[in-house]
Amino acid sequence: MAAENLDYLKDVLARTRGEVGKVIIGQEDAISMALIAIMTGQHALIEGVPGVAKTLLVRALARALGCEFNRIQFTPDLMPADITGTNVFNLRDNEFKLVRGPIFTEFLLADEINRAPAKTQSALLQAMQERCVTIDRDTHTLSPNFTVFATQNPIEYEGTYPLPEAQKDRFLFKIRMGYPSREHETGLALRMLGCDAPEAVLERHAVQPVLSAGELERVRGIFQAVTVREELVSYMVDIVRTTREEDMILVGAGPRATQALLLSSRAHAALAARDFVTPDDVKAVAPAVLEHRIVLRPESEIEGVTVGEAVARVLQGVAVPR
Protein backbone atom coordinates (compact mmCIF):
# COMPACT_ATOMS: atom_id res chain seq x y z
CA MET A 1 0.00 0.00 0.00
CA ALA A 2 1.48 3.34 -1.03
CA ALA A 3 2.35 5.62 1.88
CA GLU A 4 0.13 8.43 0.58
CA ASN A 5 -2.85 6.07 0.32
CA LEU A 6 -2.31 4.87 3.88
CA ASP A 7 -2.07 8.46 5.13
CA TYR A 8 -5.24 9.37 3.24
CA LEU A 9 -7.07 6.38 4.72
CA LYS A 10 -5.89 7.20 8.26
CA ASP A 11 -7.09 10.78 7.82
CA VAL A 12 -10.53 9.75 6.51
CA LEU A 13 -11.09 7.20 9.27
CA ALA A 14 -9.90 9.55 12.03
CA ARG A 15 -12.13 12.38 10.81
CA THR A 16 -15.10 10.03 10.42
CA ARG A 17 -14.67 8.74 13.97
CA GLY A 18 -14.43 12.33 15.17
CA GLU A 19 -17.65 13.37 13.43
CA VAL A 20 -19.59 10.31 14.59
CA GLY A 21 -18.18 10.78 18.10
CA LYS A 22 -19.97 14.13 18.30
CA VAL A 23 -23.30 12.34 18.63
CA ILE A 24 -22.44 8.78 19.70
CA ILE A 25 -21.05 8.64 23.23
CA GLY A 26 -19.03 5.46 23.80
CA GLN A 27 -19.72 2.45 21.53
CA GLU A 28 -16.23 2.68 19.99
CA ASP A 29 -16.24 -1.02 19.05
CA ALA A 30 -19.61 -0.70 17.32
CA ILE A 31 -18.37 2.32 15.36
CA SER A 32 -15.27 0.39 14.24
CA MET A 33 -17.28 -2.65 13.16
CA ALA A 34 -19.78 -0.47 11.27
CA LEU A 35 -16.91 1.26 9.47
CA ILE A 36 -15.43 -2.11 8.51
CA ALA A 37 -18.79 -3.20 7.04
CA ILE A 38 -19.07 0.05 5.06
CA MET A 39 -15.50 0.06 3.79
CA THR A 40 -15.73 -3.56 2.63
CA GLY A 41 -19.04 -2.94 0.85
CA GLN A 42 -20.92 -5.44 3.02
CA HIS A 43 -23.99 -5.38 5.29
CA ALA A 44 -24.34 -5.67 9.06
CA LEU A 45 -26.81 -6.77 11.73
CA ILE A 46 -26.96 -4.49 14.77
CA GLU A 47 -28.29 -6.03 17.97
CA GLY A 48 -29.05 -4.05 21.10
CA VAL A 49 -31.80 -3.08 23.51
CA PRO A 50 -33.88 0.03 22.75
CA GLY A 51 -32.18 3.37 23.37
CA VAL A 52 -28.52 2.48 22.73
CA ALA A 53 -28.36 4.68 19.59
CA LYS A 54 -28.55 2.02 16.86
CA THR A 55 -30.47 4.28 14.48
CA LEU A 56 -28.45 7.36 15.39
CA LEU A 57 -25.19 5.51 14.67
CA VAL A 58 -26.23 4.71 11.10
CA ARG A 59 -27.62 8.22 10.50
CA ALA A 60 -24.37 9.78 11.77
CA LEU A 61 -22.23 7.50 9.58
CA ALA A 62 -24.33 8.34 6.54
CA ARG A 63 -23.95 12.08 7.24
CA ALA A 64 -20.19 11.81 7.85
CA LEU A 65 -19.57 9.75 4.71
CA GLY A 66 -21.74 11.93 2.47
CA CYS A 67 -24.28 9.18 1.74
CA GLU A 68 -28.06 9.20 1.43
CA PHE A 69 -29.98 7.59 4.30
CA ASN A 70 -33.38 5.88 4.47
CA ARG A 71 -35.10 3.97 7.25
CA ILE A 72 -37.75 1.23 7.12
CA GLN A 73 -39.69 0.27 10.24
CA PHE A 74 -40.46 -3.42 9.76
CA THR A 75 -43.91 -4.52 10.93
CA PRO A 76 -45.97 -7.72 10.44
CA ASP A 77 -48.16 -6.03 7.80
CA LEU A 78 -45.26 -4.64 5.73
CA MET A 79 -45.38 -5.87 2.12
CA PRO A 80 -42.44 -6.35 -0.29
CA ALA A 81 -43.75 -3.54 -2.51
CA ASP A 82 -43.52 -1.19 0.50
CA ILE A 83 -39.76 -1.73 0.37
CA THR A 84 -38.97 -1.95 -3.32
CA GLY A 85 -41.66 0.33 -4.74
CA THR A 86 -44.27 -0.29 -7.44
CA ASN A 87 -45.50 0.91 -10.82
CA VAL A 88 -48.43 3.32 -10.57
CA PHE A 89 -50.63 4.35 -13.50
CA ASN A 90 -50.38 8.07 -14.22
CA LEU A 91 -53.69 9.28 -15.70
CA ARG A 92 -52.18 12.51 -17.01
CA ASP A 93 -49.44 10.80 -19.00
CA ASN A 94 -51.50 7.66 -19.66
CA GLU A 95 -48.64 5.36 -18.63
CA PHE A 96 -47.23 3.46 -15.68
CA LYS A 97 -44.47 5.16 -13.70
CA LEU A 98 -42.23 3.68 -11.07
CA VAL A 99 -42.67 5.00 -7.55
CA ARG A 100 -39.41 4.02 -5.92
CA GLY A 101 -39.42 2.56 -2.44
CA PRO A 102 -37.01 3.39 0.40
CA ILE A 103 -34.59 0.68 -0.79
CA PHE A 104 -33.36 3.12 -3.46
CA THR A 105 -30.77 4.75 -1.22
CA GLU A 106 -27.17 4.28 -0.09
CA PHE A 107 -27.47 3.51 3.64
CA LEU A 108 -30.66 1.64 4.52
CA LEU A 109 -31.63 1.07 8.14
CA ALA A 110 -33.95 -1.96 8.36
CA ASP A 111 -35.33 -1.37 11.85
CA GLU A 112 -36.42 -4.51 13.71
CA ILE A 113 -36.10 -6.64 10.60
CA ASN A 114 -37.38 -9.71 12.45
CA ARG A 115 -40.80 -8.03 12.90
CA ALA A 116 -41.70 -8.69 9.24
CA PRO A 117 -42.68 -12.08 7.77
CA ALA A 118 -40.30 -14.07 5.59
CA LYS A 119 -41.86 -12.87 2.32
CA THR A 120 -41.00 -9.27 3.17
CA GLN A 121 -37.59 -10.09 4.61
CA SER A 122 -36.70 -11.87 1.37
CA ALA A 123 -37.36 -8.67 -0.59
CA LEU A 124 -33.98 -7.52 0.70
CA LEU A 125 -32.07 -10.62 -0.43
CA GLN A 126 -31.58 -9.71 -4.09
CA ALA A 127 -30.76 -6.13 -3.17
CA MET A 128 -28.16 -7.19 -0.59
CA GLN A 129 -26.51 -9.76 -2.82
CA GLU A 130 -26.66 -8.11 -6.25
CA ARG A 131 -27.42 -4.43 -5.49
CA CYS A 132 -30.42 -4.45 -7.77
CA VAL A 133 -34.18 -5.03 -7.43
CA THR A 134 -36.76 -6.47 -9.81
CA ILE A 135 -40.15 -4.74 -10.03
CA ASP A 136 -42.72 -6.09 -12.52
CA ARG A 137 -39.99 -7.99 -14.39
CA ASP A 138 -37.84 -4.88 -14.78
CA THR A 139 -34.46 -4.85 -13.01
CA HIS A 140 -33.31 -1.61 -11.43
CA THR A 141 -29.72 -1.04 -10.30
CA LEU A 142 -29.04 0.33 -6.83
CA SER A 143 -26.17 2.56 -5.76
CA PRO A 144 -22.76 0.82 -5.54
CA ASN A 145 -22.64 2.20 -1.98
CA PHE A 146 -25.89 0.44 -1.02
CA THR A 147 -25.44 -0.88 2.52
CA VAL A 148 -28.05 -2.48 4.78
CA PHE A 149 -27.89 -2.09 8.55
CA ALA A 150 -30.58 -4.31 10.06
CA THR A 151 -31.43 -3.95 13.75
CA GLN A 152 -32.78 -6.58 16.13
CA ASN A 153 -34.00 -6.34 19.71
CA PRO A 154 -32.30 -9.20 21.62
CA ILE A 155 -34.84 -9.41 24.46
CA GLU A 156 -38.28 -9.10 22.87
CA TYR A 157 -39.26 -12.03 20.65
CA GLU A 158 -43.06 -11.94 20.87
CA GLY A 159 -44.52 -11.42 17.40
CA THR A 160 -41.18 -11.79 15.61
CA TYR A 161 -40.09 -13.91 12.65
CA PRO A 162 -36.52 -15.19 13.09
CA LEU A 163 -34.22 -14.53 10.14
CA PRO A 164 -33.48 -17.65 8.06
CA GLU A 165 -29.88 -18.85 8.05
CA ALA A 166 -29.50 -18.01 4.34
CA GLN A 167 -30.34 -14.37 5.03
CA LYS A 168 -28.20 -14.06 8.16
CA ASP A 169 -25.26 -15.41 6.17
CA ARG A 170 -25.46 -12.37 3.88
CA PHE A 171 -24.57 -10.05 6.75
CA LEU A 172 -20.84 -9.59 7.26
CA PHE A 173 -21.17 -8.92 10.98
CA LYS A 174 -23.46 -9.05 13.94
CA ILE A 175 -22.61 -5.84 15.80
CA ARG A 176 -23.58 -5.89 19.47
CA MET A 177 -24.37 -2.54 21.11
CA GLY A 178 -24.51 -2.88 24.88
CA TYR A 179 -25.43 -0.51 27.67
CA PRO A 180 -23.18 2.56 28.01
CA SER A 181 -20.80 2.94 30.94
CA ARG A 182 -21.83 5.10 33.91
CA GLU A 183 -19.66 7.96 32.64
CA HIS A 184 -21.14 7.80 29.15
CA GLU A 185 -24.70 7.50 30.46
CA THR A 186 -24.13 10.57 32.61
CA GLY A 187 -23.03 12.45 29.50
CA LEU A 188 -26.20 11.37 27.73
CA ALA A 189 -28.30 12.58 30.65
CA LEU A 190 -26.54 15.97 30.68
CA ARG A 191 -27.42 16.40 27.02
CA MET A 192 -31.07 16.44 27.96
CA LEU A 193 -30.45 19.67 29.89
CA GLY A 194 -29.95 21.25 26.48
CA CYS A 195 -33.32 19.83 25.37
CA ASP A 196 -31.72 17.64 22.71
CA ALA A 197 -34.43 15.61 21.03
CA PRO A 198 -32.91 12.50 19.39
CA GLU A 199 -33.77 13.72 15.89
CA ALA A 200 -32.10 17.10 16.55
CA VAL A 201 -28.78 15.73 17.76
CA LEU A 202 -27.16 15.59 14.29
CA GLU A 203 -28.02 19.23 13.61
CA ARG A 204 -27.11 20.55 17.04
CA HIS A 205 -23.72 18.85 17.08
CA ALA A 206 -23.09 19.65 13.40
CA VAL A 207 -21.89 16.35 11.99
CA GLN A 208 -20.01 17.37 8.84
CA PRO A 209 -19.42 15.22 5.73
CA VAL A 210 -15.89 13.84 5.56
CA LEU A 211 -16.26 12.48 2.03
CA SER A 212 -18.03 13.79 -1.05
CA ALA A 213 -19.99 11.74 -3.58
CA GLY A 214 -17.82 9.10 -5.23
CA GLU A 215 -14.92 9.25 -2.75
CA LEU A 216 -16.17 6.24 -0.79
CA GLU A 217 -15.26 4.04 -3.77
CA ARG A 218 -11.67 5.30 -3.62
CA VAL A 219 -11.46 4.52 0.10
CA ARG A 220 -12.78 1.01 -0.49
CA GLY A 221 -10.18 0.44 -3.18
CA ILE A 222 -7.34 1.16 -0.75
CA PHE A 223 -8.28 -1.87 1.36
CA GLN A 224 -7.51 -4.16 -1.56
CA ALA A 225 -3.79 -3.37 -1.14
CA VAL A 226 -3.60 -4.72 2.43
CA THR A 227 -1.30 -7.75 2.43
CA VAL A 228 -2.54 -11.13 3.73
CA ARG A 229 0.02 -13.92 4.07
CA GLU A 230 -0.96 -17.35 2.77
CA GLU A 231 -0.57 -18.94 6.22
CA LEU A 232 -3.10 -16.43 7.58
CA VAL A 233 -5.58 -17.41 4.88
CA SER A 234 -5.11 -21.04 5.97
CA TYR A 235 -5.65 -19.91 9.59
CA MET A 236 -9.01 -18.37 8.63
CA VAL A 237 -10.04 -21.52 6.74
CA ASP A 238 -9.13 -23.67 9.75
CA ILE A 239 -11.20 -21.46 12.08
CA VAL A 240 -14.29 -21.78 9.90
CA ARG A 241 -13.84 -25.53 9.37
CA THR A 242 -13.42 -26.04 13.13
CA THR A 243 -16.90 -24.58 13.71
CA ARG A 244 -18.24 -27.58 11.77
CA GLU A 245 -16.39 -30.07 13.98
CA GLU A 246 -16.91 -28.55 17.44
CA ASP A 247 -19.07 -30.80 19.66
CA MET A 248 -21.27 -28.01 21.05
CA ILE A 249 -22.13 -26.65 17.57
CA LEU A 250 -24.92 -28.21 15.50
CA VAL A 251 -24.47 -26.17 12.30
CA GLY A 252 -21.10 -24.60 11.55
CA ALA A 253 -20.23 -21.61 9.38
CA GLY A 254 -20.20 -21.91 5.60
CA PRO A 255 -17.62 -20.81 3.01
CA ARG A 256 -19.01 -17.26 3.00
CA ALA A 257 -17.70 -16.93 6.57
CA THR A 258 -14.14 -17.46 5.31
CA GLN A 259 -14.62 -14.70 2.76
CA ALA A 260 -16.04 -12.45 5.50
CA LEU A 261 -13.04 -13.14 7.75
CA LEU A 262 -10.66 -12.24 4.93
CA LEU A 263 -12.46 -8.99 4.06
CA SER A 264 -12.98 -7.82 7.61
CA SER A 265 -9.49 -8.67 8.89
CA ARG A 266 -7.96 -6.61 6.05
CA ALA A 267 -10.21 -3.69 6.95
CA HIS A 268 -9.37 -4.09 10.65
CA ALA A 269 -5.66 -3.87 9.81
CA ALA A 270 -6.28 -0.71 7.79
CA LEU A 271 -8.22 0.80 10.73
CA ALA A 272 -5.06 0.25 12.78
CA ALA A 273 -3.06 2.07 10.04
CA ARG A 274 -1.25 -1.10 8.93
CA ASP A 275 -0.86 -2.45 5.40
CA PHE A 276 -0.62 -6.08 6.53
CA VAL A 277 -2.89 -8.46 8.47
CA THR A 278 -1.87 -10.14 11.73
CA PRO A 279 -3.51 -13.02 13.64
CA ASP A 280 -4.80 -10.46 16.14
CA ASP A 281 -6.83 -8.83 13.36
CA VAL A 282 -8.46 -12.18 12.61
CA LYS A 283 -9.21 -12.81 16.30
CA ALA A 284 -10.67 -9.33 16.70
CA VAL A 285 -13.27 -9.75 13.95
CA ALA A 286 -13.95 -13.50 14.27
CA PRO A 287 -16.72 -13.27 16.95
CA ALA A 288 -18.71 -10.69 14.96
CA VAL A 289 -18.27 -12.74 11.77
CA LEU A 290 -19.15 -16.15 13.24
CA GLU A 291 -21.73 -15.68 16.00
CA HIS A 292 -24.75 -15.25 13.72
CA ARG A 293 -23.59 -18.01 11.37
CA ILE A 294 -23.51 -20.96 13.78
CA VAL A 295 -26.28 -22.88 15.56
CA LEU A 296 -25.66 -24.51 18.93
CA ARG A 297 -26.81 -28.01 19.79
CA PRO A 298 -29.96 -28.06 21.97
CA GLU A 299 -28.10 -29.81 24.79
CA SER A 300 -25.44 -27.07 24.76
CA GLU A 301 -28.13 -24.39 25.07
CA ILE A 302 -29.73 -26.29 27.96
CA GLU A 303 -26.35 -26.32 29.71
CA GLY A 304 -26.20 -22.54 29.34
CA VAL A 305 -23.48 -22.37 26.68
CA THR A 306 -23.58 -19.13 24.68
CA VAL A 307 -22.64 -18.66 21.03
CA GLY A 308 -19.83 -16.34 22.14
CA GLU A 309 -18.36 -19.06 24.35
CA ALA A 310 -18.54 -21.54 21.46
CA VAL A 311 -16.67 -19.15 19.17
CA ALA A 312 -14.04 -18.53 21.87
CA ARG A 313 -13.51 -22.30 22.20
CA VAL A 314 -13.11 -22.60 18.42
CA LEU A 315 -10.46 -19.87 18.39
CA GLN A 316 -8.58 -21.54 21.25
CA GLY A 317 -8.53 -24.83 19.37
CA VAL A 318 -6.88 -23.51 16.20
CA ALA A 319 -3.12 -23.08 16.09
CA VAL A 320 -2.03 -19.48 15.50
CA PRO A 321 0.52 -19.05 12.68
CA ARG A 322 3.80 -17.38 13.59
pLDDT tens by residue, 128-178: 888 888 888 888 899 888 999 998 877 666 667 778 777 888 899 999 988
d(C-alpha 263, C-alpha 116), whole Å: 30
* Residue 180 within a domain: yes
Residues 247 and 133 in one domain: no
Query: Is residue 177 located within the same domain as residue 271?
Result: no
67 and 187 housed in the same domain: yes
Q: Are residues 100 and 49 in the same domain?
A: yes
Domain end point (choices 179, 196, 213): 196
The torsion of the CA quartet 4, 30, 255, 119, rounded to 10 degrees, works out to -120
- The DSSP bridge partners found for residue 85 are 100
The SS3 call for residue 252 is coil
pLDDT above 70 (res 244): yes
What is the extent of the structural domain holding 258?
Answer: 226-316
Question: Is residue 236 in a domain?
Answer: yes
Residue 14 within a domain = no
Is the domain of 88 the same as that of 167? yes
If DSSP codes are grouped into helix, strand and coil, which group holds residue 274?
coil
pLDDT confidence bin for 264, thresholds 50/70/90:
very high
DSSP for residue 276: B
E strand spans, 198-244? none
Residues comprising the chain, all counted: 322
> What per-residue confidence (pLDDT) applies to 180?
83
Residues 78 and 167 in one domain: yes
- Looking at the fold, whether 49 and 160 belong to one and the same domain comes out as yes
Same domain, 179 and 245: no
In a domain, 166, yes or no: yes
Same domain membership, residue 47 and residue 188: yes
216-220, 243-247, 278-282, 297-301: which range is least confident on average? Answer: 216-220
Answer yes or no: is 2 within a domain: no
Do 113 and 252 lie in one domain? The reply is no
Same domain, 46 and 191: yes
Q: What is the CATH number of the domain that holds 294?
A: 1.10.8.80
For the domain that residue 172 is a member of, what is the CATH number?
3.40.50.300
Amino acid, single-letter form, for residue 190? L
- Regarding whether 85 and 188 lie in a shared domain, the answer is yes
pLDDT mean over 187-209:
66
Q: How confident is the model over 75-118, as pLDDT tens digits?
A: 888 888 899 988 888 878 778 888 888 999 999 999 988 888 88
Provide the number of structural domains found in the chain: 2
Predicted confidence band at 121 (pLDDT cuts at 50, 70, 90)? confident
